[in-house]
Structure formats: C-alpha cells, structure tokens
Amino acid sequence: MKTADLKHDSAIKHVTGQSVYVNDITANRQLVGRVVYSPEAHARISLLDIKAASKLNGVVAILTHKDIPGINQMGPVIHDELCLAIDEVTFIGQAIVLIAAETEEAAFKAEKLIRIEFEELDTILDLHEAIAENSLIAPPRLIECGNVDETLLSAPHVISGELESGAQEHWYLETQSALAIPGEGKEMLIHASSQNPAETQAIVAEVLGIAKNEVDVEVRRMGGAFGGKETQGNHVAAWAALLANATRRPVGIHLFRDDDQKITGKRHRFLSKYQIGFNDEGKIIVYSVELNSDAGAATDLSRAILERAMLHAENSYFIPNVRIVGNAFRTNLPSNTAFRGFGGPQGMVVIETAVDKIARFLKKDPAEIRKLNFYGISQKNITPYGETIVNNHLHLMYDQLLASSGYKERRLQIAIFNTEHEFVKRGISLTPVKFGISFTTAFLNQAGALVNIYNDGTVAVNHGGTEMGQGLHTKMLGIAADELGVSPELIKISPTNTSKVPNTSATAASSGSDLNGMAVKNAIDKLKSRLTEVALDELKSKLKTDSILAVQIVFADNSVFAVSHPDTKIPFGELVKLAYLKQISLSATGFYKTPGIYFDRELGRGNPFYYYAYGMAVSEVEVDVLTGESKLLRTDILHDVGDSLNPEIDLGQIEGGFIQGVGWVTTEEIKWDKKGHLLTHSPDTYKIPTVNDIPLHFNVELLSGYPNEGTIRKSKAVGEPPLMLAFSVWLAIKDAVSAVENHEFEPAFSLPATAEVVLKSIEEIKKMRLGVRS
C-alpha cells in the first residue's frame, strides 16, 4: 500500500467511540472545575462575596484574582487579558471566579451562592460605534504601492463601496476542555485541547508563577479547533491549573456548549470601505481599501489577523496602485481570535465584491473580469507588499475549471431558466483563491520532532504539531514510513507533548505538515545516517567486499540493502538490534525552519510567504424569490495541493473547508442584544451547515502534475485556503438576486447572505425598478 493512501488514523476510532478526548481522561480524586463569568459587557465590580458558596458541602476551592500565585494574565502575544477579573469587567463571558467541587451539582449550587454586584459602565458593542470613537486596539497599519490618489483621480471609472462581513463561531464538536493534574512539588501536567501546547505551557507556568520545566502539556487530539484553540484553549488550561494547584487535586474543566459560545472569541467581523478604479475593458488600475476589524476586548491575535487580511486584500489580482489601511478596534465583546483563513477571507471578500461590481457596471461576465486581472506569469507578478509570485497556476486552473464545470454553457442555461421562472432564480459564479503559506510572523515558521527507534524495531514519532482532525498525524506517519522504508504498522505517532519537543509554534497557518513534515524527515535522516554505518559494516562482511558506499544504502521494504546487491537485505528490525548492541543512539531530534521569508511591518514590504496555494470554484445556486432561501445546486472545485501527501485527506480538507466557508457566507449569523448578550449561543439559533447544505453535485479535483518544489514531498498546505472558495456561493446568490430584475440593478448585499438579507435585497431591487418606472 502507498502511504499516500493511509486512512485517517482516527477514522475508525471516531466512529467506534474509541478516540480519546480530554473529557475522556479521568484522574484519581478528580474535581469538577467551573468558571463564573461576567453577565455585564462593561462594569465595575462593586461587590464580590464568595463566603456562603465556600461553606457549601462538596465545594473544595473558590478562587478569585487574589488567589493567583503568578501573573494574572493570559494574553498570548500582548499581556492585555486578565486571567480573572479584578475590579472591572470588559465583556460578557469574562472569568471572575473559579470553583472546584466534588460534583457538577455542588459547583452549580456554589455558583448560585456567589454574590457579585456591578455598576454598569459605557460600552462599545458595535463596530460602527468603535470606528466613530476611534477605539483602536493597536496602531493603524499600511501597505501601499504605486500612486493611489492620482490614479483614483485619472481612472476612467471608479466604484466605491462598503462591505460588512460577519463574525463566525468555530463550532468545534469538542468544546474547550482541560484536565490539570498536579504532580510532585510544583509539577503540573495538563491534558489540553490546544493547537498550541507550548503556549499553553507558558501561560500555565505564568499564572502559577512556576518555570516552564515544571509544566507538561499533552495533546492527544482535539475534536476540532479551526483556529479557536490557537490561543483560547490556553484559558481553560490556565483556569484548571489554578484550581488544581490550589486543591492539589486533578481538576477538569469542560465547557458547556452555550458557555463556550458565549465566552470565547469568534472570527473577526470586518467593516471595509473601498474605492476601485478600472478602464473600459475592466482592467483594475487602482484599489484603495480600509479594513476595520472588531478585535473584541483584548488583543489576542488581532494584529496578526489584520495583517493577513491586508496581505490578502488583492487576492489573485495584479493591481499597480494599491493602498491597504488596516485598523483593529476594541469593543466590549469576547476577544476575537483565529479562525480558518486568519483574516484572509475578510480581506479577500472585499476585492471579490468589488470585482463583481466592475463586471456588473461594464455588463460583462465577472469570470472574464477576474481572468483579465489575474497576476501575470512572468510580469505583473509583484504583490502590493513586494513579493514576486512564481509558479502562478491561476490561468491554467481557470481554463481547466471553466471547461470541466461547463461554466459558459451553464451561464446561458441559467439565463434561459431565469426568463422562464418568476419565483425562483438561479445564479452562478467563479471565484479564485490565492493564499499565502507561512506564518506572517516569520520566526514562528519553525518546527521540531523527536524520533525514537526501539530495539524491537518499532518507531515512535513525536512532532510539535497537533491533531485536530485535519489528518496531520496520518501525514506524518506516511512521511516517517516512507523515509524509513518500513510499514506504517511499525510506527506510532505519539501524543504531542511539550517535554518531548519544546518551544513549538501553534499548529496553524495551514503549515503543520510543511513544518513538522520536514522536522520529522530531518530526525529520520540523522537516524538513517547512523544506521547506514552499521548496515555498511554488516553488508561488507556478509558480501565479503569493501566496495559498498553509504550513498548506495537503501531503506525500503522493511529492510536495508545496497543498490548494488539488492538480494542481500538486512531486515530493519535486525539492523536496529545490531545498532543497539553496537551502542549507537537510536533516538534523534529533528528541526526545520522555513528559509528566506521575512516581512517588515513598518514598511509593509517583504517576502512573508514561502509560496502560495491556489484554488478555484464554480458554484450554482437557486434562490426562492418569495422566501429569500437559497440552495446550493452544484459546486466544482479545482484545488492545488502540489503533490498531495494524502489525496483522501486533502479532499476531505477541501470539502470541509469549503462547506465551513459556505456556512460563513450564508447562514451563520451572530447576533448580540443591545447589552452585548450573545443571542445565538446554541445550535437552534446559530445555524452551521448540515448534510443538506452540501451540494448535490459536488466535484472536487486536485490539480495534478504541478509538484511544489522545496517542501516536504513537493506538497502544499491545504488546511485553510479552501474556505475562501465559498465566495463563489455568496456571489452566485447575488447573481440570482440580481436576476430578479434582469441584472439591471446592483443589489445591496452583505455577508452572510441569510434568507433575510436576500429577501431585503430582492425587495430593494424591486423598488429600484419601480423608481425607474415612476
């Protein structure tokens, strides 16, 4: 079997219930941890009384900020996020008190007995208001090239607009969870659901006031993360650790779904303003955009997310004059955080809507306007931040997808369908994705691995990446098996653990397999060079020759041999035993850092990305003109993953990412009331896609024949880019809406395009028609 065909290592375990999550692990004398959080968006705490609750039977500890032995902080990059509130709360969901109890019931009862009184303060709960109040959470950012102001004045046509894109709830199936187990002395073991075990370790060490070498963080797997556990998995870990430290007993915290939705951050909503200038043909000559994001109450990753939004503002299009301004604003909502795409979607959707408007203005096919503006192959290939795009696959993918999806014929058929149907309208759209791969914070592009070969011939691979369903461990297993030339059954990927591989970056930015794959290979290369020496000695004596060279040694088929003498094989297990007897170390660490990337934030210039991943989608939808409901009829996707490490897993990532994006652009609407209470905090009000939302005709293909030189097995990252293919659905809905009045008017449109938004939009263009008539 080819290792590229390996099945996801958890597939069977998931469906049989054998997969172990944090909440499945129990420890002797374990307590239930509970977080008491603020019901106020911004208020002074005038009274906090835990006396009655402390006396309750079954309550073991109740902690406030005064009981934190270390630093009262859990902000990941900037320390602006309290672990427990002191005398003021700045969002609903902010932790104030921690309870450890023998039972869940006791914890609930204790919570009811805790008295907290508040004096309400002014709030900012709306992005418009935040912009008006200029509540910047970080200095504004700028990326600029060419001459924007002059070109805007001289451009033949200029369209300006505003676009709001909504927040998005991660809806990982496993809510935020942690189990903290105190050890001897100051030791603390955390079973975490975290994309970033090294940072969880750092935050736990800080709140406890102990050194990192006292804290072990272990991540077996997450039941989904999607960016929501890049930093915010740290919070529950810190709370559980505080309780475990205070009680010296194991404490588990597993958030209820509603609590999780209320207290954790989401995808940043954006309000963006743009001007785009173009010529009669549809060539874009100037683009000026201001991206404004809602950071929430603390910084979290908002700066990096805004940066990625800015670095994706032009998507796949070459534009000679560009100005991208980025602002992140503070509001009284839970701190928003990483979410698949990491700002990329919010930046890209603005230019996608702008390009769509250009096409409507010129009465041309939007797909043709897109193609016209694609980055060039050997010229017109420099981004606004100065990175030169090499190996641009946009043009060939466009041609391939246009043909395979039958785009042109279907556009004609849809036009006919729409003339024949008054109450249902269809729309179609093609949209491209160009997504930069690498952490834009250059130093984060590093990874480590530890590979142990045991003297029974089995192998344990540990790497710094975490498994969240994306299949990283399966890909690492395939790489290790191929590199060692042994069957995957002999290899085990052990849980991610900070004591095995230290100082790792989050598994994020889609670069888990790029970085860790290389680190695993690096460790195995070291082991192979040691084993090669042993094999050489052995083969030379067996074959009675001195003429075998190290370069001729091959590791394959569970054995080791010289290419010149393929019939004399040493079984891998035997070679390992020999090495052990010869006192050769069978354990090695591996390391990798991405070469040649940098970004100067002040100048807004650099080469932040090692390469780009490309994708393209054509989607067709049907809109019910009377209800505003839309149905996705068909989607064709062509996606570039280089030489796939595992085609089945990559297809799963593309399908899943796309559908998650469809949720963001259609039904996933987050609403708060005027006081800042989240109204959509459960699955009955927050609508993620279900199996019914998957298009009946869903054709997903991997671009073949374009290996990505310079990465592990010439592959490309796949985790995030497909999410943005969902813009094809959003713009297909807009196309169907505008068909209601024969494409003569530009419908106002926002994101998500819920049935309500669609219906309003239809009403509006109908009024425009009446306005024209009167």
- Residues serving a catalytic function are 720
Report the alpha-carbon distance of residue 329 to residue 299 in Å, rounded. 9
CB 344 within 8 A of CB 305: no
Residue whose CB is nearest to ligand MOS in the complex, by number: 227
Report the 10 Å Cβ neighbour count for 495: 16
Q: Does 195 bind ligand MOS (CB under 6 A)?
A: yes
Nearest to 435 by CA among 727, 195, 164: 727
Q: Looking only at residues 623 through 682 of this chain, which bind ligand MTE when binding is defined by CB under 6 A?
A: 653, 656
Nearest to 578 by CA among 543, 540, 537, 534: 534
Of 287, 439, 658, 727, which one interacts with ligand HPA (CB under 6 A)? 439
Q: Does 342 bind ligand HPA (CB under 6 A)?
A: yes
Q: Does 511 bind ligand MTE (CB under 6 A)?
A: yes
- Of 38 and 200, the one with the shorter C-beta distance to ligand MTE is 200
- Of 171 and 375, the one with the shorter C-beta distance to ligand MTE is 171
Residue 179 tokens read as 């189990």
- Of 411 and 521, the one with the shorter C-beta distance to ligand MTE is 521
CB 670 within 8 A of CB 652: no
Residue 733 tokens read as 């809905």
Q: What is the 3-state secondary structure (H, E, C) of 15-40?
A: HHCCCCCHHHCCCCCCEEEEEEECCC
Residue whose CB is nearest to ligand MTE in the complex, by number: 512
Q: In the bound complex, what is the minimum distance in angstroms from residue 252's beta carbon to ligand MTE?
A: 21
Of 135, 391, 400, 441, which one interacts with ligand HPA (CB under 6 A)? 441
Report the alpha-carbon distance of residue 293 to residue 265 in Å, rounded. 13
Q: Does 613 bind ligand MTE (CB under 6 A)?
A: no
Report the alpha-carbon distance of residue 438 to residue 422 in Å, rounded. 48
Q: Does 227 bind ligand MOS (CB under 6 A)?
A: yes
Q: Does 226 bind ligand MTE (CB under 6 A)?
A: yes
Q: Does 222 bind ligand MOS (CB under 6 A)?
A: no
Q: In the bound complex, what is the minimum distance in angstroms from residue 305's beta carbon to ligand MOS?
A: 8
Report the alpha-carbon distance of residue 531 to residue 580 in Å, rounded. 10
Of 37, 339, 435, 614, which one interacts with ligand MOS (CB under 6 A)? 339
- Of 19 and 438, the one with the shorter C-beta distance to ligand HPA is 438
Q: DSSP letter for 725, please.
A: G
Q: Rounded to 5 degrees, what are φ and ψ at 106? A: -65, -40
Q: Does 515 bind ligand MOS (CB under 6 A)?
A: no
CB 309 within 8 A of CB 302: no
Q: Does 340 bind ligand MOS (CB under 6 A)?
A: yes
Pairing of strands 59-63, 95-101: antiparallel
188, β-bridge pairs: 182, 215
CA distances from 612 to 418, 445, 709 (A): 38, 15, 12
Report the alpha-carbon distance of residue 24 to residue 205 in Å, rounded. 24
- Of 506 and 649, the one with the shorter C-beta distance to ligand HPA is 506
Q: Does 72 bind ligand MTE (CB under 6 A)?
A: no
Which of ligand MTE, ligand HPA, ligand MOS, none has residue 308 at its interface (CB below 5 to 8 Å by kind)? ligand HPA
Q: How far is CA 44 from the centre of its chain?
A: 35
- Of 194 and 653, the one with the shorter C-beta distance to ligand MTE is 653
3-class DSSP state of 437 = strand
Q: Does 308 bind ligand MOS (CB under 6 A)?
A: no
Q: Does 309 bind ligand HPA (CB under 6 A)?
A: no
Of 308, 360, 370, 371, which one interacts with ligand HPA (CB under 6 A)? 308
Q: Looking only at residues 223 through 252 of this chain, which bind ligand HPA when binding is defined by CB under 6 A?
A: 230
- Of 342 and 745, the one with the shorter C-beta distance to ligand HPA is 342
Q: Does 500 bind ligand MOS (CB under 6 A)?
A: no
> HSE of 241 in the Cβ direction (CA atoms, 13 Å)?
34
- Name the maximum alpha-carbon separation found in the chain: 101
Q: In the bound complex, what is the minimum distance in angstroms from residue 634's beta carbon to ligand MOS?
A: 28
CA distances from 700 to 210, 303, 337, 474, 630 (A): 50, 34, 29, 21, 21
Q: In the bound complex, what is the minimum distance in angstroms from residue 637's beta carbon to ligand MTE?
A: 16
Q: Whose structure tokens read 């960016």? A: 227
Report the alpha-carbon distance of residue 243 to residue 311 in Å, rounded. 41
702, β-bridge pairs: 639
Residue 607 tokens read as 């080469």
Q: In the bound complex, what is the minimum distance in angstroms from residue 439's beta carbon to ligand HPA?
A: 4
Residue 95 — left, alpha, or beta (φ > 0 → left; ψ -120 to 50 → alpha)? beta
Q: In the bound complex, what is the minimum distance in angstroms from residue 621's beta carbon to ligand MTE?
A: 25
Q: Does 304 bind ligand HPA (CB under 6 A)?
A: yes
Of 93, 197, 227, 517, which one interacts with ligand MTE (CB under 6 A)? 227
Of 338, 461, 659, 758, which one interacts with ligand MOS (CB under 6 A)? 338
- Using the contact rule CB under 6 A, the part of the chain among 49-57, 314-322, 335-343, 521-529 near ligand MOS is 335-343
Q: Does 321 bind ligand MTE (CB under 6 A)?
A: no
Q: Does 509 bind ligand MOS (CB under 6 A)?
A: yes
Sign of CA dihedral 5, 8, 9, 12: negative
Pairing of strands 321-330, 605-607: unpaired
Q: Does 168 bind ligand MTE (CB under 6 A)?
A: no
Report the alpha-carbon distance of residue 213 to residue 285 in Å, rounded. 55
Q: Does 312 bind ligand HPA (CB under 6 A)?
A: no
- Of 227 and 747, the one with the shorter C-beta distance to ligand MOS is 227
Q: Considering CB under 6 A, how many residues would be counted as binding ligand HPA?
A: 13
Binding site for ligand MTE (CB under 6 A): 224-227, 340, 468-470, 472, 507-513, 653, 656, 717, 719-720
Binding site for ligand MOS (CB under 6 A): 195, 227, 230, 338-340, 342, 508-509, 720
Binding site for ligand HPA (CB under 6 A): 230, 301, 304, 308, 338, 342, 439-441, 444, 506, 508-509
